[in-house]
Chain A
Amino acid sequence: MASIELDHIRHSYGARPKSPSDYALKEVHYTFADGGAYALLGPSGCGKTTLLNIISGLLQPSEGRLLFDGRDVTHLATEARNIAQVFQFPVVYDTMTVFDNLAFPLRNRGVAESEVRRRVHEIIDMIDLGALADSKAQRLTADSKQKIALGRGLVRSDVNAILFDEPLTVIDPHMKWMLRSQLKHLHRRVGFTMIYVTHDQTEALTFADRVVVMYEGEIVQIGTPEELFERPRHTFVGYFIGSPGMNLLPVEVEGRVARLDGLAIDLPAAVAIPPGARAELGIRPEFVRVGREGFPATITKIEDVGRHRIVRATLGGREIAAIVPEDAEIPSDPRVSFEPRGINVYADSWRVETEAGL
């Protein structure tokens, strides 16, 4: 177990990066605390896997240093870093039995055979493959194979960190949920530092204490699931997290009023937009009210998703989504209002902080 410090790490797959866009990973400077459960969340190609491979040593960063518990490991080989990593597609040793697959990382490190048996039996029960312990890994289904790969990641008791690279992609939904809760449970019990890469927000938000949202090679926000939901620092976070994502309306801000196509929306506090910056008002559909008060809007569509309804409307020439309770009445002359605590203002996609601390 160790804290993992990323000291101004940058990475480019090309030999001679010139502009910032040549970097697959733009400057990342962050410390993963010892024993934390983190999720790296972002769309495909945002640099999550690159960052993970830098931590495990499968990639050498172009610039910057990597420290485990303050010790510089930037140039240390993967084998010497004592890291476990589980990959997106199942990697099993086909010719070995399930038991031998799980024992492999331990035996390679010269762990005593009695200890190997104890650890493997513990893990094999956890991933529920006890009945198949002596069968060849080759004949198993894809999700059983991935369970073996997960098991191989968890079997060592002395690792600095366990890294997961979208490990549940090939697993069926029911099993996914079960494995995720087992991982969470395991994390609480043994307290390894765990970093979990995913593009699935549900996975990230349920697994992690802190979620690191990445976008185009940069960390755009690090926070608890609540922070990401209520105060997205970047419009990308607002759009990427939540279903549907945050509404973004281009506005002109004057003190405590935001103007959208002739409508004046009151802001909870005065904000200062830098001159020339593009201002946007962001509000999650959860904070949009549809009723008899507010601005007149035209409803284009109502989607019933079970627990609630999603109302799609046009407001001041812009599409806007609202979440309303299943039993709420929608008047024939609908009006839309915003809950002040859900309002965020963005300048050039980054959130503008207000004095009120909101």
Chain B
Amino acid sequence: MNKTWNNRAWFMVLPVLMLVAFNAIIPLMTVVNYSVQETFGNNLFFFEGVKWYQEVLNSPRFHAALFRQFAFTGLILLIEIPLGVAVALAMPRSGPWVSVCLVLMALPLLIPWNVVGAMWNIFALPDIGLLGYGINALGIEYNFTRQPGAAWFTVVLMDVWHWTSLVVLLAYAGLRSIPDAYYQAARIDSASAWSVFRYIQLPKMRRVLTIAVLLRFMDSFMVYTEPFVLTGGGPGNATTFLSIDLVKAALGEFNLGIAAAMSIIYFLMTLLVCWVFYTLMTRGEEQ
């Protein structure tokens, strides 16, 4: 066998390299660049090393935003995953209603994010919004622009409304892939409904649920548009999540160094949590 070596073949890779460079590497390196320098007007830069990183990591403001971020992500995962599984279990397994259910489920996913924010903003207004007015009519004082608790309630409810469907669709796909023989065997073995869920459905949904949790984790950890449109991070800083805080630092206060260091830390955190989570969920599966 004669192998022909022609190093000019590397030029073929060039277009992809250019593309990746322009849409990923160059922007990322710009941020890295800002994160290690003091930036003044007239393009004056001074190297600062890890100063910005130290500042961000020691800042109470960052800690507070990070805490709110984890609280939000944890809360919506705790609600959306079980709720999604429950809805998927309740959906019909066959018949004409399957498509109706699927379309209904897919609807919230098709709405642009800022529209979701705007919709819920109006929906939850205490004087003219159906939700806000309704809650107040029940005798509960509710105003998401003034009460931090009400703001949290609305932000979480909005996310659950918007994204539970994704979990439902994934879980439903997992359920549908279980062969009938499993359910038949369970009936022969006199398994209770709980046993069927615990020993057949849940194990078979494990893979899709891993994907659901990962997607929902990443999306909610980076959430920006919907809470920004709904509450703008308020009242006060009550719903200022990491991304909102980041934009405030970068574009509101023009702290480029701080914002860049925050971005890098944010990015590494997301990456780390996803990796740890994926490793845990798939551990012992491939043997």
Q: Which residues of A contact B (CB under 8 A)?
A: 53, 56-58, 77-79, 83-85, 87-89, 91, 93-96, 104-105, 108-109, 139, 149, 152
Contact = CB atoms under 8 A, between A and B. Distances in A.
A87 B181 contact: yes
Interface stretch (B16-24, B191-199, B253-261, B275-283): B191-199
B212 to A, nearest CB: 19
Contacts of B189: 104-105, 108, 152
Contact of B184 (A87, A94, A108, A109): A87
Contacts of B203: 93-95
Given A58-B184, A91-B185, A95-B203, A109 B179 contact: no
Contacts of B199: 93-96, 104
B200 A79 contact: no
B182 to A, nearest CB: 5
Interface of B: 179, 181-182, 184-185, 187-192, 195, 199-200, 203-204, 287
A91 B182 contact: yes
A109 B195 CA distance: 13
Taking each of B181, B188, B192, B203, which has the highest tally of chain A beta carbons within 10 Å of its own beta carbon?
Answer: B188
Contacts of A56: 184, 188
Given A93-B199, A95-B199, A79 B181 contact: no
20 contacts: A53-B184, A58-B184, A58-B187, A77-B187, A79-B187, A84-B188, A88-B181, A91-B181, A91-B182, A91-B184, A93-B203, A94-B199, A104-B191, A105-B188, A105-B189, A105-B190, A108-B190, A108-B192, A152-B185, A152-B189
A85 B179 contact: no
B114 to A, nearest CB: 43
A331 B179 CA distance: 58
The 10 closest A-B pairs by CB, nearest first: A91-B185, A105-B189, A78-B187, A108-B190, A93-B199, A87-B181, A79-B190, A85-B188, A95-B203, A94-B203
A105 B184 CA distance: 13
Contacts of B185: 85, 87, 91, 149, 152
Contacts of A89: 179, 181
Nearest to B179: A89
Given A78-B188, A95-B203, A105-B190, 12 more contacts: A53-B184, A56-B184, A58-B184, A77-B187, A78-B184, A78-B187, A88-B181, A91-B181, A91-B184, A91-B185, A108-B192, A152-B185
B195 A85 contact: no
A139 B190 contact: no
Taking each of B179, B185, B203, which has the highest tally of chain A beta carbons within 10 Å of its own beta carbon?
Answer: B185
A331 B195 CA distance: 70
A43 B182 CA distance: 24
Contacts of B184: 53, 56, 58, 78, 85, 87, 91
Nearest to A84: B188
B200 A93 contact: yes
Contact of B191 (A85, A108, A149): A108
A108 B185 CA distance: 13
Contacts of B200: 93
